[in-house]
Chains A and B, each alone.
Chain A
Amino acid sequence: MVKGKVHKYPDNVDTDVIIPARYLNTANHAELAAHCMEDIDPNFKEKVTRGDIMVAGWNFGCGSSREHAPIAIKESGIACVIAKTYARIFYRNAINIGLPIFECEAAADGIEDGDEVEVDFSSGKINNLTKGESYQAQPLPEFIQNIVNKGGLLNSLK
């Protein structure tokens, strides 16, 4: 269960705006986080606090396969991402690095920027504390929960 303030984004947020390629000359997580969302929300790194939640529309994370994108989001302190749908490589990458991620159209429509939101990872229940609404996302399938619980894909293989 996590609770945090929402940073809301539109449809088709691509990995080039999540972490522009000009910063891909490093794999250092902190350096990547320093430029997270820079081309879509230049003040993101000042606004974000640990435990916040990112919400977006359709096809979040489209484009490049760069794992640097979910890494930058996770390292920024984002505890969970909720979107209507995800581009498939971003979806895989988020799970593989242990960034919890949910698909929920109703939540993405109902939640606004700045809302206080609570997410229960095991049930997929999302509560909007600001608006007094709740939404139901599909909980993660069991084999994916296993990867997340073990701290990522590679740890689950050991």
Chain B
Amino acid sequence: MGMTMTQKILAAHAGLDEVKPGQLIMAKLDMVLGNDITSPVAINEFEKAGFTDVFDKTRISLVMDHFAPNKDIKAAQQTKQSRQFAMKHGIVNFYDVGCMGIEHALLPEKGLVAAGECVIGADSHTCTYGALGAFSTGVGSTDMAAGMATGKAWFKVPGAIRFELKGKLGKYVSGKDVILHIIGMIGVDGALYKSMEFGGPGLASLTIDDRLCIANMAIEAGAKNGIFEVDEITRAYMDGRAQHPYTVYAPDPDAEYEKVYEIDLAAVRPTVSFPHLPENAKTIDEAAAMNIAIDQVVIGSCTNGRLSDMAAAAELLKGKKVAKNVRAIVIPATQHIYKECIRLGYIDTFIDAGCVVSTPTCGPCLGGYMGVLAEGERCVSTTNRNFVGRMGHVDSEVYLASPAVAAASAIAGKIANPEEVQ
């Protein structure tokens, strides 16, 4: 029986010629990731279990991004604990304030993850790196601790759903709209325990940023991982950047899929996911017609804080003003992206429009800080979750959208179609 991309990568990392869905395997890890919220729990477990050494100090990444720069004293204690652990064990890829970025934007940018690798991270959006053709999945802190100690993790080999992409995205339509559209179609548990494998001729029209965004939200359909076939665009991104030689795996022609969906990219409209589940997707045409007034816009996160996201927002905000009574918060995801935004004039555009621009942080996405919502407030956000209370008060509302829709909505003061604002 043929294997999917994910099955091939898992087989290779388990030292097996072949694996089948449902099989339990022990796999070698190429990278183990944690952040300032999940690492302290992992460090406590690591130390409680009596481990004294990490398996490889070059293959662990600790990124202080969620509540950093420290939002309060307790958060400061957590980054301090992570920092001390990193120093004690000589963790090479420790990213603190000044060099950190949002982890899932930072690791690909630094070449710390690449095609064919097997990666775990104590953060659910670790599935992002599947965009580069890696097997990458979110785990908890105990798995992270075990991974740091042994360089291995157990997995149940997943079955897969194949997304065959064709056509080309229209103006103001991005990877975010594609993944919100797909989650709307299959539901928040539509890919539970499975791989979402993306390929087909439509791939050629998707940038790396589009793919990172799509793979990032595979978890929002319940998937174990999202993974993209590797093409010239992926290679061009990884060459000269990847810190280790990479291996390209393609699915076997006779790989078995539990389902195959054909997605015509040209038919995807800008999409907005309504409270309180990412599956509540509506096209911008439906959403804009509802005249939903908003209080806040957030443009950033591991989903949409990359340079092309900043460019999409800047294009709409240039020469325009954010509506009165709307707070617009823009967060470039890494220091590199921030500098590029300065060089390209985007920061001027944002500030002139009345936005505030923040240092990299996950802060508002999970209601941590830098934009917490009050009772009854509504936010259009380029983040990934719109659960009850996700960004603040239990009676606040989050509408998930692309940077273009978020920027258009900031200008209009309500959920708006970028085609109309422009």
**What residues of chain A have their CB less than 8 Å away from a CB belonging to chain B?**
12, 14, 16-17, 20-22, 24-27, 39-40, 58-59, 62-68, 70-71, 85, 87-89, 92-93, 96-97, 141, 143, 152-155, 157-158
User: Across the interface, do A67 and B41 meet the contact criterion of CB distance under 8 Å?
Assistant: yes
User: Across the interface, do A59 and B188 meet the contact criterion of CB distance under 8 Å?
Assistant: yes
User: Across the interface, do A58 and B189 meet the contact criterion of CB distance under 8 Å?
Assistant: yes
Q: Which of B10-18, B199-207, B382-390 contacts A (4 or more CB under 8 A)?
A: B382-390
Scan residues 91-133 of chain B and give those whose CB is less than 8 A from a CB of chain A.
Answer: 121-124, 126
CA distance A14 to B126 in the complex (A): 18
B224 close to chain A: CB less than 8 A? yes
B146 close to chain A: CB less than 8 A? yes
Q: A26-B74, A27-B44, A62-B222 are in contact. Are A157 and B150 (CB under 8 A)?
A: yes
User: Across the interface, do B139 and A89 meet the contact criterion of CB distance under 8 Å?
Assistant: yes
B105 to chain A, nearest CB (A): 17
A12 to chain B, nearest CB (A): 6
User: Across the interface, do B368 and A65 meet the contact criterion of CB distance under 8 Å?
Assistant: no
User: Across the interface, do A17 and B192 meet the contact criterion of CB distance under 8 Å?
Assistant: no
User: Across the interface, do A25 and B49 meet the contact criterion of CB distance under 8 Å?
Assistant: no
A156 to chain B, nearest CB (A): 9
User: Across the interface, do A25 and B74 meet the contact criterion of CB distance under 8 Å?
Assistant: yes
User: Across the interface, do B192 and A85 meet the contact criterion of CB distance under 8 Å?
Assistant: yes
Q: What count of chain B residues pass the 8 Å CB interface test?
A: 53
B277's nearest neighbour on chain A, judged by CB, is A12
Given A89, A141, A158, which contacts B50 in the complex, CB threshold below 8 Å? A158
| Residues of chain B within 8 A of A93, CB atoms compared | 139-143
Given A17, A62, A67, A70, which contacts B188 in the complex, CB threshold below 8 Å? A62
Given A20, A25, A40, A58, which contacts B71 in the complex, CB threshold below 8 Å? A25
User: Across the interface, do B49 and A158 meet the contact criterion of CB distance under 8 Å?
Assistant: yes
User: Across the interface, do B142 and A20 meet the contact criterion of CB distance under 8 Å?
Assistant: no
B142's nearest neighbour on chain A, judged by CB, is A96
User: Across the interface, do A154 and B49 meet the contact criterion of CB distance under 8 Å?
Assistant: yes
> What mask results when residues 42 to 69 of chain B are scored 1 for a CB within 8 Å of chain A, else 0?
0011101111000000000000001100
Q: A25-B74, A93-B140 are in contact. Are A64 and B366 (CB under 8 A)?
A: yes
CA distance A92 to B224 in the complex (A): 11
| Residues of chain B within 8 A of A155, CB atoms compared | 49
Among the interface residues A68, A70, A96, which one has the most CB atoms of the partner chain B within 10 A?
A96
| Residues of chain B within 8 A of A24, CB atoms compared | 37, 66-67, 366, 368
B369's nearest neighbour on chain A, judged by CB, is A22
Q: A16-B385, A16-B390 are in contact. Are A64 and B124 (CB under 8 A)?
A: yes
Among the interface residues A39, A59, A154, which one has the most CB atoms of the partner chain B within 10 A?
A154
